[in-house]
Amino acid sequence: MEYSKEFKQALSEFSPAEKDKLIFRLLKKDKLLSKKLYFELIDLETVDDKRDAMEENIREKVLLASKYIANQKYFLVLIRKISAEITEHVKITTDKFGDVSLNLFLINEILEYNEKLGTQRFDNVYKLYIYLINKIFKALTLTKKLDEDYWMEIDEFLESLNEKTDGNIYFQKLCTNNGLDFNWLKCENIPDHFELIVKGIKSEGFLR
């Protein structure tokens, strides 16, 4: 929404007390904005602190969720909730590196349970695996937009992901069938035109 000069002028004429009252009313309705301002203005924790805390949070919640792997619909609901927490962290902190690293960390934590996942019928885990493969493509796309100084750390997550994928035949085959080249699981090998590649894969009806 665009604001006219007249509207901006009218707001600027509010008294400090009126402005404070308006701000607090708006913050009550927008909890995400409230958290973002708190982080930017007075929070003593850094982005790195928040990211480390999120990793621990992810690890704990995936562990709890793993008890429900046999109930794939509920398990996926729990995983989506964890993913939503990562999204909130990124919006609050504008942590671009965390947007990649935390999602790859989440995938790696889920694949820690390959043994349990391997006991499920393929049609039961299909939606979960497609969800994870989409996350991998998104992470690779975002990696190309990061400063190369981050690539060494991202490569550690990707190497772990590659190893765990080898331990899950269904997931590995589904990755291949949906156009994921495992050579891309190294930052320097991600093609420059990667976004176009992903669009092409989706246009052919994959990643669904």
C-alpha angle 110/70/53, rounded to 5°? 30
Instruction: Report yes or no on whether pTM surpasses 0.75.
Output: yes
Chain-centroid distance of CA 207 in Å reads 17
On whether the CB atoms of residues 75 and 128 are closer than 8 A, the answer is yes
CB atoms within 10 A of CB 91: 14
Which residues fall within 8 angstroms of residue 17, CB to CB, at 6 or more apart?
Answer: none
Q: What is the pLDDT along the chain (208 residues), one digit of tens a residue?
A: 678 888 888 888 888 888 888 888 888 889 999 999 999 999 999 999 999 999 999 999 999 999 999 999 999 999 999 999 999 999 999 999 999 999 999 999 999 999 999 999 999 999 999 999 999 999 999 999 999 999 999 999 999 999 999 999 999 999 999 999 999 999 999 999 999 999 999 999 999 9
pLDDT of residue 116: 96
The whole-angstrom separation of Cα 66 and Cα 22 is 45
Please name which of 88, 85, 79 lies closest in space to residue 111, comparing C-alpha atoms. 79
